[in-house]
Amino acid sequence: MGPLEYLKNRLDPEQFEKIKAIDNPELHEFLAKYIDLLNPAKVFVCTDSKEDEEYVRRKAIEYGEEKPLAMDGHTVHYDGYYDQARDKARTKILVPKGVEIPFVNTMDREEGLKEIHEIMKDIAKGKELFVCFFVLGPKNSIFTIPAVQLTDSAYVAHSEFILYRKGYEEFKRLGREAKFLKFVHSAGELDERKTSKNIDKRRIYIDLEGETVYSANTQYGGNTIGLKKLAFRLTIRRAVQEGWLSEHMFLMRVNGPNGRKTYFTGAYPSMCGKTSTAMISWENIVGDDLTFIVDMKGEARGANVEKGVFGIIQGVNQEDDPIIWEVLHSPNEIIFSNVLVKDGKPYWNDMGIPIPEEGENHSGKWWKGKKDAEGNEIPPSHKNARFTVSLEAFPNADLEALEAPCGVRIGGMIFGGRDADTWPPVREAFDWAHGVVTMGAALESETTAATLGKEGVRAFNPMAILDFLSVHIGDYLRNYLEFEKKLRIKPKIFAVNYFLRDKDGNWLNHKLDKAVWLKWMELRVHGDVDAIETPVGYIPKYEDLKRLFKEVLNKDYSREDYEKQFTIRVPEFLAKIERIEKIYGDVGNIPEELFKVLEKERERLLKAKEKYGDYISPFQLEKS
C-alpha cells in the first residue's frame, strides 16, 4: 500500500483531502510513516484557515493543557514540575558512526533512531494528532524554509500558531520543490494535571541527515515547540553548508537622528538582557530570538525566523519593561506558562507588585513556604516561566520589516554576556574578524535558570549558540569569517555588558542604561561620533555619553561613573584571552585567524599595561 493510499484509509475524508492537495510524495511518505508509528485515535490537519487555528485553540482547553484566565484571550499552561527547562542531557544530535562534534551532545544515528522509534511506538494511542504546516522566515522569500510539525499536544500546536507564519498554502505552492524540515512530538502519557508522566523516557533527538527532530515525553516549550530551538540546530547546519548565517539573535530597529532607521542584530545568552534590549519602548522590535542573515548583492540582510515571542517572564515589571507589561495586561492572545494563578490572574516573580500568598502554579496548589520533595522552597512562579504572544501585539513592532521579503539591511551586530569583571558596558570592534573573534567567539556568561544545572558559573558560550550547535565549532566560525568576504557593506560589530560590578560587588550600570549604549552604537554605524581607541576596541567619549544620557533618559551622567564603567581591566582581559585560547586550542580544526586575532589583542594589552598599568582610565587613553 502506497503512503497516499494508507493516509486515505487512515484519515477522515476531509482531513485526507487537505493532505492530497499538497503534491509532495516525500511529505506523504513522512506522514504515513509517523501516523502509523504514533498510532493516534484521530488526526487533524491544519490549513492556514482561521477555523483550523480556532479548532486547535479550543482543543488545548478541552484537553486540559490550557485553562482560560480572567482576561479575554489569556490562557495558562503548566509543564510538569521536573519538565521546566531545555533538557540538555537528553537532547542529542544524531550523527553517523564515529562522528563527534565538540561541545555537542551526540549519539550514533542508527542507535538513536532505533531507540526513539521504540519509545514513540503507539505513544499517541487514544489521543488526537495535529499535523501543522509552517514556514521559517517571511513567506515566499529568500529566507523561507517550510516545516511540518506532528504533535499530540494542542498546546504545542497553539504555541506554534502564535510564534510562526502559517505554511499550508506555501507547501501547496512549492509542491515537490519544498525542501522542508520535519518535527515529530508526543507529550506521552499524561498525569491528572495533563503533564507528561514518563520523564525518564524524555528524549529530544535531532537527526541532521533526515532533517527531522523527535521529541517524546515532554511538554516544556523549549523541548517541544519544534520550530524554535530544535529547528535552529537544523538551520545552523544548512547555513554553514550554504554560506549564510542562522543566528541566536534579536533583530531590532534603532531610531537615529532625523528619522534615520538602523537595524541591529544581537546575540546574548539566556537572561542577559536580550529581550529587554529588543523591546526598548522608543525603538522598534522586529524579532527577539532568531535571525537569518544572508548576503544580498553585497549587503548583509536579516529576517526574523519567527513572528512571535516565547519570552521569559520573571522580572518583567512596569518600570523597566513598559511595553511588555502593557502587552501582558491587554486582551491579546497570550499563553502564560508556569506562572502563579490566583482568581484567574497571572503573577510572576519580581513583577514589582504584591504577589498572592497562595494559588496554583507549576507545583499544583501552592502556598508561601511550600517545599518540594527535595526540600527546596517553591517560588510563586518558576524562574523560567514564559509568555507566548504574537509580535503584532506590540505597539512598537516594525511589522513592515518583519514581513519584508528581502529582509532589512543590518547596520550593526551586538554580542552581550553576563560578565561581572571584564567587559566595559559597550565597545566597538576594530573590524569584522576582531569582532567575530574577541566578542562573538569569546563570549562568556554566567549561567541562569533557562537550562537545567548550576547557576552563577562563568560559561563559555560563543555567539550565544553553544547549546544549539549542530556542526563543528571550527566550521561554524570559518563560515562566519568567510561571510565577510561576500559583503560590500559590512555591519559594525559591538560588545555590550549590562552586568559589570565594582570590587564591592555593586552594579555599575542601571537596567535602562542599555538604551544609551544602543543610541551610541547607532551613531557609530554612521560615523556621527568619534571614539577612543583602546587595546580591546573603540569605546565612547565621555562628552557623547553625557549628552546621550540627558537626551535619552533625562539623566545626569558623571565623569566618575564613566571612568568606573570604561576603565580597561587589563589583568581580567588577559586572563580571558588565556581561557579562550585554551578552549579553542584543545578543540582542533579551528581557523588560524582566531588565534592570530587573540594574540594581537594580547600584544596590545601588554603594551598598554607597560605604559599605563593594570587598570587604564579612559581619560588616559583619550589624551594619548
* CB neighbour list of residue 588: distance below 8 Å, 6 or more residues apart: 102, 474
* CB neighbour list of residue 393: distance below 8 Å, 6 or more residues apart: 327, 330, 332, 333, 334
Query: Quick check: is 46 catalytic?
Result: no
Please report which helix (H) or strand (E) contains residue 570, including its range: helix 570-587
Burial class of residue 209 (count of CB atoms within 10 Å of its CB; 0-12, 13-18, 19+): exposed
The catalytic residue among 46, 132, 272, 406 is 272
The number of angstroms, rounded, from the C-alpha of 15 to the middle of its chain's C-alpha atoms is 33
Return d(Cα 451, Cα 576) in angstroms, integer.
24
Buried b (16+ CB within 10 A) or exposed e, 270-291: bbbbbbbbbbbbebbbbbbbbb
490 contacts 300 by C-beta, under 8 angstroms: yes
Q: How many residues does the chain have?
A: 624
Beta bridge partners of 622: none
Buried b (16+ CB within 10 A) or exposed e, 466-495: bbbbbbbbbbbbbbbbebbebbeebbbbbb
Closest CA to 520 of 529, 509, 511: 529
195-199 long-range contacts (CB < 8 A, ≥24 apart) are 195/78, 195/79, 195/80, 195/83, 195/219, 196/79, 196/80, 196/83, 197/80, 199/80, 199/82, 199/83
Grid-cell match 555599575, residue found: 508
Active site residues: 272
